[in-house]
Structure 1
Amino acid sequence: MIDETVAEIEEMQTHSSSVVAVKAARALSELTGREYATVEEFVRDVERNSSVLRRANPSHASLYNVHRTITREVEEADPQTVEEGKAALTAAIDRVIERIDGGKKRAAAHTADYLEDGMTILTHDYSSTVNAAIERAVDGGVSLSVYVTEARPRLAGRKTARKLAAIEGVEPTLIVDSASGTYLGECDCVLMGMDCLVGETLYNRVGTYPIAATAADLDVPMYVTGSGAKLIDGGFVFENEYRPASEVLLEPAEDFAIENPMYDATPVRLLDAIITDDGAMSF
């Protein structure tokens, strides 16, 4: 389970960073089925496997937070036996999953309050929290039109468009990334998820920064939403991920290089609000 989860994270089979963090937390439950001679051996194995899962994607703040929390809580439980250690691990996993899932639901609820009937919004990439906020708003009687960027080269926006198309009351339109400036003038706001917020910088799927800059130029409000687990107060250094060139161009490149960064950095001064489970932070 752990090895499979590491491979899934490395291959980016899951687009939502919150979902990634939950899966990585659950993967550690595999250790409760292993045999250990001592509690010290068990705790070391928790730390080792937690580190392996965390390193599968160093850019995921929620992944970092989850495993830092789990290992800390197991250590602070000070188990005296292997069975006590396993119980402490199970409890820690359950707590962090509840925090993430509960945080996403509360963030979505706060975000839904920003969505009014008849609005046209633009979203980028795939965010389970954004989708939940839209669904919640629609359940409350709101109808929305949504422009969805493809989020090349992984094309996660297509998944978003299909998800939104299944929600009655939402009219999604899929657009290529470079067309966002063309349609932003028709939008009432931009709404997207986040990978993490570190200090005064939002790190999110590449393409976020130009959308934020264009929205600011056109006076279109931009809101970012996600669980508070994605806010980092220290000890974390964001590392951008550079994906294979084959995602951009299938045939070999001749006499030119290909860069395929996963994320970009957006200064919070370009945002109108970041909405988490604790409410909105305005800028």
Structure 2
Amino acid sequence: MKSIISLMLVFTLASPLSCFSQDTNAVKDSIYIQQVENRKKPDKVLHAEPLYIDLIRDLGARKGEKEWNVGLGLTDNLRFDSYEALIEYEWAPIDRLGLEVELPFTFYSPISETPRDSIPSNRLNSIKLATQWSFFVNEKWATSMAIGYINEFELTEFRTFNSPYITGNIFNPFLVIAKRWGNNFHSLIYTGPLIEHQFKSENLVFKYDVNTSFHYMITGTRNFIGVEFNKSVVQNDFDLTIRPQIRIGIADNLLIGIIAGIPVSRENERLSSFLRLIWEPAHKKHL
């Protein structure tokens, strides 16, 4: 975990800040914001998007925007390690409407002498289909709001993949509220219930998530450093994971996000890390 945090600091300190004066970068920030917000209609506000619980599409999305994401993660549990992998594609077919398809995988490896058959099986967790509508975008207030819905078709484990293929459904409506403070500081709330229905059971499992994030966008760049607080409540159980993170621009249309996970009140999960590669095929250079 120390190496992950050190790597985040190295990337941050190695940003192009050293190449420009503060005044020059402040001008570039203003130009970049104007390029995003004023280059065409409809209105759009530049927000820093969290890297772990990411949005379906930019708030105030404009028709034709699209993005590919590849994610890789590692979680240290008490009896086994779990490895995450995801592939997702998001796009905006019309102004302010975002759509997404995601395939999340999880692979498990036992720790020490833990029996293999006592841990979960490798699986394609689900097929996630999602939509998000930005119903409020105000450039003067630098504020955006959106509602959305994610539907997950849960799939069976690889070792029993044909009996049946789909084992359950997760319904997840959500609300997003984001605010930029000046040119550099960003805050965002992402919240909503998750309702899980396993087809073999008539009972429903209710969970409520509140995810808050705060970011500082590095002056003169698209890079940022920030933190997510991922909170969830299931019946009387409360879980909180703190996720410090950075985003680095590798090329004009290629970004990388590095996230560390620090659980505060989880009984079975320890430290985790996550890497997200973001490719924006339609991105235009603004600076």
User: Which TM class, normalised by the smaller chain length?
Assistant: under 0.3
Higher helix share: 1
TM-score between both structures, scaled by the size of structure 1:
0.26
Higher strand share: 2
